[in-house]
Structure 1
Amino acid sequence: MLLNMMQTQATDPTWLGDALHCLLVQNVSPNPSLSGRMTQFAKTISEVAGAQATSIWSLDTNLNQLNLSARYSDNRTNCNPGSVIHFDSDGEVLKVLRSKKIVAINNIDEPVGPLAANAEVFQQTGANAVLCCPLFDNDDLLGVLIIQHAPAPHVWTDSEKRFAEAAVSLISMAMVQATNESENRATTNHKLRLGLFARMADDRLWETDDAHNVVSVVSGTTILAPEETTLIGRRPWDVPTRQPLRGGWGPIKRSMENHEVIKDLILVDTNLDGTKSYREASGEPQFDQNGLFTGYIGVTRDVTNKMAREAELQATDQRYRNASHLACLGHWVWDRDKDCCTYCSPEMADIFGVTVEEYVARTNSFEQDQKWYHPDDRAEYVAALENACATDSGWTISTRIIRDDGSIRHLKQWAEPGYDSTGRLTSTLGVLMDVTDQIDLGEKLRISRSKLSNLVDNLPGALFRVKLDEKWSAVYRSQGFYRHFVDPSSSANGWDELGEDNWILQVEKADRKRVRQVVEAAVAASSTYEVEYSITTVNGDKRWVWERGNPVTSLSGEIEIEGIMIDATDKRRAEEALIKSQRGEAIGQMTGGVAHDFNNLLAIILGNLELVRDDISDVELRKMLDASISAAARGADLTRNMLAFARQAKLEPTKLNLNEVVRNAQNWIGRTLPTNIEVNAQLDVDLWSTQADLSSTESVLLNLIINARDAMQQGGELTIETKNLVVDARMVQNQHEYIDQGEYVTIAVSDTGHGIPKKLLKQIFEPFFTTKAPGEGSGLGLSMIYGFIRQSGGTVRVYSEEGVGTTFKLFFRALPQDQQTEDQSTIAGQPTTPSCARILIAEDESGVLAVLVSVLRKAGYKVTACGSGDAAKAVFEADPNFDLLIADVVMPGRLLGPNLVEELRVIRPDLPAIFLTGYAAETTIHGNELHPGDIRLMKPIRRAELLASISKVLQARDAKGETS
């Protein structure tokens, strides 16, 4: 039982009650000597507290040393009974002991507290840690209880100190009881020797006259004390040094004046030396033969020692009650002869929710006692009591009671048999403790721990506490540590059986030194830290870990690290994708700006070349001009590729079925690829429709096929596959680039060529990046593909392995099933016969403006040219009779092209307009006054396309006028 108490001291809330019960048993059990009882106390305290040794010392009368009364050590050997601890009678040790306070020294070599300067006094015991507990009888220091630990220091807990306080009260009570018993035995022996006469001779006989004046005080064998002689000639209440113990002289005076018998009157005398002595007085009135009152005759007896013993017993009882109150223990006594409860402490009655009197009255039989207990616990309770009665033993049991208000309380009970002075079993003595709050707290703690465990298990990471050694040895790691960072494929059932080596985190070599430096810096600064590093799991996966921790001090004084680890792999990939996207956006913006300016230059070159060609009849010169015009057209194609990468290309999306695009491509693939490349098509028969620019889609497919051809110089297999795909949240999370959820149509082009090196995969979509030899490619093919697909609302995935091959998968947004999109017609045809139409042009680029004016005037139109939108508005306000407005989208000044059209249509609502732009994105700028029939042209513009657009707009205007 004691071993169990030592093991459960820190967790069992009833430990203190169990410990006090053991001490109470030592106090009530019959023992022939004080030394034996003290040894039992020392043994019980050592075993319960888990101490190396416990000793009880009595204070020497010279107040300069402690004499060993009893000692018990864990090696089961007792020290020499003659051992002493010396100290200065005027020094700090005695002063501290008289303060009645328990002093805890956790380390005798580094003491703190009131005995720090005199700790060497207790080094005589051979201890490293000491709990020094003074023993008192009222204000008199009796001795010291010393609980010690060796050979290591020990931090004394609050539970150990409370246990020591209760033990001090019980040991002091036992010492006082032993002293009283010794004094009682001495008195008994004295009485046996002196006999009845000696006892009577010690009484004082006193006599008064009829006025109550004391006329004589007579002692049989002793001389009267000086203070007793002062009574002669005075009435008892006139003596200033004598007072009744209770009630004052008033009631006594009235009784004597009424000639009543006086019994059991306790008088207190203040002696000449200031001490107190107590006398018990009794007296009877005396009358003469005529019945007249003549005075009192009585006896007084010295009861000073008796009163002192009663005071000691009361103090001992109070200490006993205080210990019970501090421990929240209820006490009871069951009389086995009467078979009823004869004593119930106030603490116990309070636990049962009744008064002491009510509890005793209601527990007047064994059957009545059972009614307190919960029906489910009653059989176990009865069995424990019946076994105790049959074996003359006690019991320890946990039960529940139901109080009158219906509330249920959980109790822990201990009971032991009680004996009379002859050793006969007469009663059962018991203590109990209400542990309801502890049980409720334990249940709440269990639920809280369960919730915390579930929360920790659901984290995408782990909690940890490790030592600062080379292996970061684990003090604690939650299960998420192994699941997320060591072996994701392993079952949690076997983790507890793994050795420490299987829990080592495989941090990348490049990060190890950095991580340790961060942690050591945090330890030095006593601050938290954050660090991110990469690891490799057992199955070879590369993962990223974000860790936050802080240094803590263990119970042994060592510095350890505790914190949290989070799987940051997805976050890291998202950051890399964002950086890549931002880099692409920056390059795209730069590329778009360059293409815009280049388009203006090409517009001037192409326009002037076409004008010059019209005036040249020489065949050779015309060939040279045609070559220049062709080169300018190729330059325009190059800028279109650049704009496609920048997602600013001019697109004319139509409803497409990618199966048809692939089937049409099969007609020319054979002419493009060598005979040693086999072509396979795997087309989804239920393929959804998408909306994309047909020409750009065909161009993308051609680029991918040519790239596949170049990757298979020695021949191979080319596969084109179409498929429907629904992108869900899981797929979005696993992608390295953002893509919206929804329905997609995919087209995949796969080859069995040499593959793309892994280190180059991140660069293949960058403009002008190519692995081809100089002069064999511009590096814009893949960047154009990427820009076109992203501008169309999709994305591109690349899967490649060196020596195996490469797959490019294009994602196009699928059209809703109920949506029908009409194909947009392209502008075609030749210009109609020019009219005398008046055209207002607003273009900020002077070279482009000059070409436009020349082309249109040569075509027979009347042209007014302006260098900005603001200038064009001023011209129009002066003369609004223009048939058409041609305006650049972006111009300096207040009015951009769309704003100019909007304000001019306030004057002329029917004014048609054609917009020119170097950015396809600019054509999306619109206002509330723009018409659906307004045409948008991408620079550089061929003369035929410009004249055809003008003719279409003017014909549409004329047709609308005729209809009106």
Structure 2
Amino acid sequence: MLSAVLESTGWFFLAGLALYFVRVSPRLKNERRWQGILTGLILGVLTFLFEVMSHIMSHAEVMHLLASGPLMFAGFLGGPIGGAIATIFGALSILPIGEITDLWHIVGAIGFVSTGIFVAFVLPPDNWPHVSPVHVLAMFFGALFVLFMPGFLGGAFDTGLHSTSAILEYCYTVLGLGVISTVLMWQINNFANDQARAARRVRELSDRLVSAQQLAGLGTSKWIIGEGTIAFDDGMTDLCGLARSTGQIPLSEMMDLLHPDDLGLVMHAMDKAADPEVGKGFTDFRIVRPSDGQVRHLRSHWQSRRDAETGQTLVTAIHMDLTQIREAEQRQLEAHKSLSQLASNLPGAIVQTYMNADWNAELLYISPRCEEIWGYSDAEFHADNELIFRAHDPLDVPEFYSKLEAGFDTGAPIRHRFKIRHRDGSLRWVDFFGDTLVSGGRRLLNAIVLDVTSEVVALQHADEQRDITHRAQKLESVGKLTGGVAHDFNNLLAIIIGSLEVMRDEADPALRNQRINEAMQAALRGGDLTKNLLAFARQARLEPEVMDLNQLVGDAKNWIARTLPETIRVETSLLDGLWPVCIDRGSLQTALLNLIVNARDAMDGRGHLTVETANIRMDEDYIAARQEVIPPGRYVMLAVTDTGTGISEEVRRHIFEPFYTSKPPGEGTGLGLSMVMGFMQQSGGTVQVYSELGEGTTFKLYFPVAEGAVAAASETREDAIPVEPAPPGTRILVVEDDPAVADTLVRTLERAGLSVISSKSGDEALKVFRSIKGLDVVLTDIVMPGTLQGADLASAIRQEQPDFPIVFLSGYADEAKVHGKGLTSQDIRLMKPVRRADLLEAIGKAISLNAL
């Protein structure tokens, strides 16, 4: 029996070899069904051999039992189809005999196959066709049932197992051979499967290597030093463009492939490779492909090894095609040269750098012209990436980094001008124009830096020259103003002095009164002149009130008609719902009168005059287009248009200058339009002039809207509380440092019946105030010599009597603002010169307000 088992082992190994070829076949790699069918076929053939041998050999029962393992595995691995094929092959050797025991063997074969199928169904294999010990154990117990079935059914068939010893011997034999058959089949199957899997991995790795070699354009060669041939693989023949298959290539043919300029280089490398002590190396060379004449760039990594038995030196080499890399390098080199040429012609330096979150720089490129800007070469910047930032003005760094951060966040271009420190220590100005790119978590900054030091210096010089020119123009204007004021005041003084001299010798009271009136008129004209001057200087004292310009224009139509001849037709175009404004009524009436008189003169007494109003919204573009310096917002426009001769461009540039006039001598002072401009600027507005020769002129006055103000009509004089002049007997302290002015004030007030006490300074007046009881009011100048100015005197008095009435006098309207710490909103301020009626009314009003 042992010899039979040993003989059958060879059949098991042959079956295992057949299973290996099935599972290693590339065509059946993913064909589990066909692998199962072939597995059933192989194991069926093995069963057939065992059954055939059972009729030839003396140990027939051994062969029957050894077939149990292959049949169960045929059912387990081949499924119903593979198991059926194995069963059929087993039956082919039995059916011709037809004995009852042989028929029982067919039933057993079916039972073994069914056992394998049942185990595969109950315990599906996770790694088919690998069989686990659990599956083997399950099939073994199933086989025991099938193997012992004849013993239990011994009465039904004449099996010859009628004694106890025969049954026990049968059981031992069945058990032993069943274990041997199952375990042997299990190990051979798994061994074949493992070897097939390893072979597939080797084949896959080989295929991948070949694919990688083909995709990478690699080729291999082998050369034995001293031989006249060299072995090329398919990859090498493809690289060289040879029309031959893999194999030995004559060495001379390989030498013919080399580029003439690289022949010596390759010969030197071959000499080095012949020395086993060198071991390995690489060589870059070019070949000329005979198939298409292309020049290819190759790199050969070679290794030499001496065979200890033969003493020959074998040189193995891997060759790679670097043509695309070399061409790309050449293109990059040409692009770099072009960029360098372009950068050398640009007026600034090109900078390319990576910036991390901590603003540490990794400089990629900086053009050579950086040395002209910073004084450092591009090599120095590459050696020290932080050098470019250390040269940056430290005071500007936070703002610069802020703009960089905004550029990286939004992608917006970066524009910035800042100072740098040159290598020689000088300061220079540069303009930075940059773009940002964030890619792969890295922040790239591309920029061009221009040296604008000369431009900045030129702008500074231009600003200085502009300031000098402006000061010169101011001096010229002051000279014109002084000359004009001197001329007009000299004329007024001539009238006043002449009238006074005539009065000295005039005995006729009527003629004396006439001279007095002439002197008074001249003095009042002097007051008007100073008022116009202050309006031009934007220092006139204004009393703004909320009003409707439409109402003012309507009220002005009466005196406009009296000012113009009947040959001039006046029209108005007033917008309904006009926004309210807050301006000085009297100054506006004066400005309007000046514009109407100018329009009358321009039309030479005949034409059309239009006054219109409108609501205007001015934005920044509107203001910039008209070169104004007023803030954007809502404005009310008052326009005066005539159909006169128009104003030339040359005259238009000077019309707002003081004492400039285009009228004949004696017909204009040249202060009208300058007063209008001063009033408008003091009111927060502006004036625009539009004119065309032969067509006419339009003056547009823009007033800021009284935002939040209640557009209510101001109290009319009829609604106001009547103000009585200061009553006779009123005790008044007059404080004036100019003796002539003080004497005039004292005599004026005394003639009105007031009791007057005079002081020359604020310090003296305070002493008088404290020493004399019963004073009713103080009339004081604002600017005086001494410690106490007019405002200081008022503060000192009101510390003792908080509501004491005080009237202020000044020749300069802004003194109340400059020195006004002692003035209140209810205090009355008068501009010199002041008429007697206005002076007495102001004193009476101050006393009345105090009484309230």
What TM-score, normalized by structure 1, do the two folds share?
A: 0.42
Greater fraction of residues in helix: 2
Greater fraction of residues in strand: 1
Structure number, greater radius of gyration: 2
